[in-house]
Amino acid sequence: MAIIKRTRVRRGTLPVAVLAVPAAVLAVLATGCGTQQSGDTADASRRTHPTPTGPSTPSAPVDFPCPGESPTPTPPPTADTPGPAAPGDRYAENHGFRVPFPLHGRRRCDGLAAVGRIEAALEPLRKRGDFAPEHTRNALTGLGYPAGKVRAYENGPTGVGFLIEVDSSPLCVEGTMNRDSTRADSFGGYPDHSGCETPSGGH
């Protein structure tokens, strides 16, 4: 009988012990399971997510001497050269869309080569004093530029102006010819306008 009583007592206390152990285990698990120390978290974060280095800053365009050009540094912009608008300069801000993109790198060399060909083609006309827009246009289309991409127009009583879309990137050449000289410059289009025509709209 005594054995039976002890067995009954053990059986009666067993569920209490079983219930007591899971509660303790659950308490330990709730406080310790799934947590990491701050060092572990930092290590895991480094493994899965690299530390951001901040936004990448585009590098400044690199210019180099082009064929036939002396390796002298580009002169600083003059007062006539349009630059970034100064803060509060409302006129410059409102007309910034009319400031053409400069060419850099290989494109700058392409532009200089186009300028050289164009000035050489127009020089015979200048020496003859022939400033008729149609003759200027013919000389330029004779270089292979499509007629639809070449504009020539009167520029004062004894001069002619011209504008050529050399390619659709765009690479543009604009200039004037008069008794004294033929001058041309290349550029890369405009900020919010396709092609080489000077935008006429405003902001």
**Are the CB atoms for 188 and 101 separated by under 8 Å?**
yes
Q: Where are the domains of the chain?
A: 95-187
Alpha carbon separation from 154 to 29, 176, 193, 194 (Å, rounded): 90, 9, 24, 24
The 10s digit of each residue's pLDDT in 143-200 is: 999 999 999 999 988 899 999 999 988 999 999 999 999 999 999 999 887 889 988 7
For the cut 50, the answer to whether the pLDDT of residue 129 exceeds it is yes
DSSP 48-81: HSPPP--PPPPPPPP--PPTT---PPPPPP-TTS
More confident residue, 105 or 88: 105
pTM for the model stands at 0.60
Distance from C-alpha of 171 to C-alpha of 55, rounded to nearest angstrom: 30
Percent of the chain exceeding pLDDT 70 equals 56
